Structure 1
Amino acid sequence: MDIKNIYYFITSSRSFCIHIVFTLNAIYYVSHAGLNPLQLVLIGTIMELAVLFFEIPTGLVADFWGRKKSFIIGTFIIGLAHLLEGSVPTFWAIAVGAALWGIGWTFISGAETSWIADELENNELDTVFLKGAKFSSIGSFLGIIVSVVVATVFTVQIAILIAGGLLVVIAIILLRIVPETKFLSIAHGETTSYQQILHAVKGGLIQIKGNAMLISLAVVTIFFGLASEGFDRLWGAHFIEGFHLIEKDAIYWFGAFYAIAFLLNIGILKVVETYVKERFAMVLLVLNSLLVLLMLIFAVSNAFLLAALLYWLIASLRAVNTPLINILTNKQLQSQGRATALSMYGQLDAFGQVAGGPLVGIIALYTSIQGGIISSAILIIPTLYFLWRMSKFS
């Protein structure tokens, strides 16, 4: 199988399984486990704490022992996390599952993009990352449809368990089909493992410190993290509690929320891939300026259909950030130590989410869910200045 097609299979199959869960977890958390707004945000905070502590160690695993091993381990752990949370609908079981999910994701973060960048020797990264994001969206769209069907025929809980089991199977398949031919370990035989780790971390920091674009990307990553966790955990509760959706209706509506958002995302990615040439920072500036405005209107909207329309636009715009940031970051990094440097960005994102999540959760608990969403929108605003600076560099 062509290396690009393997990459597209990885991104689409994992997104398929994860979005079987993501389509339904707001319903599962609120209706089955009975979590309050603060607990909802704390679930995300626990996940991001795991990311914060494990990003650098797992990045080193990828740079020392192989990117393939790293992202396959991560896929397997995420499967176990969904099996656990789907088995026991309680706050503590879901919290442990969230921690495992965060650890699993750190094995994937940086390693997967480093693997494909190395295998392609940094050629065609714009096209491959954008197409990978489109295939991921297609997989997510199919996962949404399957989640609605399974939850309707069986239960929300069964759908989550099926997704967890499929991820474990996918990890086993990847072990057999993924090649790794261009990997260069950063290990040096003449130094101790501890010295090698320090050298790898120092090398990643030097790459970032010496590059104005990478520094701006680091600041943007922190603020995206600060803003994202609260919205991720509260938008579903906004629909369920604000518009009094019963579980049966919520299953269909949440399927529609995710499905239409991903179709819009595919369209936006196609436009970016076709018409945007090297002006990715400017595109990010325009899209995130619009995103802030839409989130503020979404928070105060009392009309269900307007809120649904706004959510579709918000979700599709947010999904464009990741591939564009990946392109900008990978183009600035050297091959050796790339996964460790990318893990540092993952750690910055996790730090932002750990700091921003509880803040937004407390605001939501003591004001309203709408107040929490408004605070998330405000936290995006500082990124606009740094995206404007980045547009001057590119």
Structure 2
Amino acid sequence: MASRSSFRHPLVTAYLRWTWLRSALHNGWWLVTSLYLVLDAGLTPSQLVLIGAVQSVFALFGEIPAGVLADTVSRKLSLVLSLVLMGTAMIGTGLVTSFPLLLATQVVWGLSWTFSSGADIAWITDELDRPDVITSVLARAARAQLAGAATGLAVLGALAYATRRDLAIVLAGSAMLLLAVYVVVRFTEERFVAARRARWSASLTVFRRGVALVRRSPDLRRIFLATALINGAADAGGRLAPKQLVDLGLPIGGDPVVWFTGLGSVGLLVGVLAIRVVGRRLDGDHARSSYGTAALIGAGGTALLAFAPDAVTGSVALVIVSGIAIPLTRVISTIWINARTTSDIRATTHSFLAQAEYLGEITGGVAIAAVAGVVGLPLALAGSAALYALTSLLMRVRRPSPPS
């Protein structure tokens, strides 16, 4: 594990603060936006689902060019571009209420993430240049992300409650634009070497090298498949859980926004604790078993949510899934990928991982959500639990050793 002095490195401090702030802003923004889309814009369930699907499709195709940009031009520039697009989309959301315009802002918001997914991890890994501590730094960043999310839910939720939802949305977007200035000022880029030859030729080379790395690595293919499965399960569970809890009787008095904000905050804080407790088992020989165990916990929690007898039991089940299964599998997959790639294609390889996430959400998530209308909500959630269980089995099956 890293010493405490490792976390006092200026680059690590800047990275952890940026991670915390970005998470607080985008999670708090999304809490308010999810209510704004329903209560202020009056979108129908089909329109809400369509926004998510279209957003994922655009992000899916944007990941690879964005990752290649980060590996050939600049990781820092990619992060700044991400924050500018993100802040612009966030502000735009609070200024419009028509479905076409909201669809456009959400597509831009989804595309903005493609420029940072992988670029942030590639930047801190290569600029810090400390392979002995990077796993601990990424685990610390995952905890900062969850803690920031909990803070964002509370602060921006309270701001929207005290003022107006559209005002809170615009203010969050404006703060995200200021975060781009923070990156310009605090993030250095001294170890990155931009491509010297033609950008198009260099980009194709980076992409091909990334594909070649995945093709010859069974470990990478395994984690990509696991990521697709578990994101299908998580996306479906996330879409269906609020409806299931309402059907079970939540909220038990009071405003539903307060209840769901509280449950979300508790889940995030449990995630911080879970990552801290697992600690040394996030990488190396323990990573596979830790991932399989977390997926199995997700299967059990989702099954409990599916057949919960009351709202309290269902709420506990949701916290188990959102606080243990989802954050642990995500941080392990990030560390897993980071340890099995090289500096020159690091952002591109992480973009492949993000594509696996989007594919899982588009296929598994949307399919299970659609099935809910045919077989009912509990059985649809049971299908989500089955995806978690399949992921656990995938990670526990050991590849036979090659003959000597």
Which residue number corresponds to residue 163 of structure 1?
172
TM-score, normalised on structure 2?
0.89
Of 192, 198, 205, which residue of structure 2 is paired with 1:199? 205
Identify the residue that residue 305 of structure 2 maps to in structure 1. 298
**Amino acid corresponding to residue 156 of structure 1 in structure 2:** R
TM-superposed deviation, 1:390: 6.3
Q: State the partner residue of 1:120.
A: 128
Q: Are 1:250 and 2:243 an aligned pair?
A: no
Contact (CA 8 Å) 2:248, 2:311: kept in 1 or not? no
Give how far 1:339 is off.
Answer: 1.0
Alignment partner, residue 232 of structure 2: 226
For residues 284 and 72 of structure 1, the distance between their equivalents in structure 2, rounded to whole angstroms, comes to 32
Pairing of 1:92-131 with structure 2 (within 5 A): 92-121=100-129, 122-131=131-140
Structure 2: runs of 5 or more not aligned? 1-8
Q: CA deviation at 1:53?
A: 0.9
* Residue in structure 2 matched with residue 79 of structure 1 by the alignment: 87
| Aligned mates of 1:10, 1:391 — CA distance in 2 | 39
How far apart are the structure 2 equivalents of 1:3 and 1:387? 34
1:289, CA displacement in angstroms?
0.6
> Are the counterparts in 1 of residues 281 and 287 from structure 2 also a CA contact under 8 Å?
no
Q: CA deviation at 1:119?
A: 1.1
Contact 1:119 1:182 in 2 (8 A): yes
Q: How many Å separate the matches in 1 of 2:239 and 2:99?
A: 14
The answer to whether the 8 Å contact 2:206/2:348 transfers is yes
CA contact (8 A) 2:207 2:348 kept: yes
Match of 2:334 in 1: 326
From 286, 289, 292, the equivalent of 1:282 is: 289
RCO greater where, 1 or 2, for CA within 8 Å and sep 6 or more? Answer: 1
- Residues 171-220 of structure 1 show CA distances to partners (whole Å, capped at 9, x for unaligned) of 122112111111123x242xx44332221111001111111211111211
Give the superposition deviation at 1:68: 0.8
User: 1:1-394 maps to which residues of 2 (within 5 A)?
Assistant: 2-121=10-129, 122-185=131-194, 187-189=195-197, 192-240=198-246, 243=249, 249-273=255-279, 278=284, 279-317=286-324, 318-389=326-397
When residues 26 and 59 of structure 1 are mapped into structure 2, their CA distance, relative to the original with a 3 A threshold, is same
Render the CA deviation track for 1:5-25: whole Å, top value 9, x for unaligned: 011011100001011123334
Q: TM-score, length-normalised on structure 1? A: 0.91
* Deviation larger for 330-339 or 296-305: 296-305
Q: Is the 8 A contact 2:58 2:110 kept in 1?
A: yes
Is contact 1:44-1:357 (8 Å) kept? no
How far 1:85 moved relative to its partner? 2.2
Contact 1:240/1:246 (<8 A) preserved: no
Cα offsets for 1:268-317 (capped at 9, x unmatched): 11101156673121111111111112112212325122222111111112
Question: How far apart are 1:377 and its partner, in Å?
Answer: 2.5
- Gaps (5+ residues) in structure 1? none
Counterpart secondary structure, 1:169: helix
Change (3 A) 1:365 1:130: same
- Report the more deviating stretch, 328-337 or 234-243: 234-243
Aligned residues between the structures: 390
Judging changes above 3 Å, is the alpha-carbon distance between structure 1 residues 296 and 7 closer, same or farther for their aligned structure 2 residues? same
CA RMSD of aligned residues (A): 2.4
Secondary structure of 1:12's aligned partner: helix
Deviation at 1:167, TM superposition (A): 0.8
Tell which deviates more after alignment, 351-360 or 287-296. 351-360
- Alignment check: 8 A CA contact 1:282 1:391 kept: no
Q: Quick check: 1:23–1:258 contact (8 Å CA) kept in 2? A: no
Contact 1:41 1:357 in 2 (8 A): no
One-letter amino acid of the counterpart of residue 271, structure 1: V
**One-letter amino acid of the counterpart of residue 199, structure 1:** T
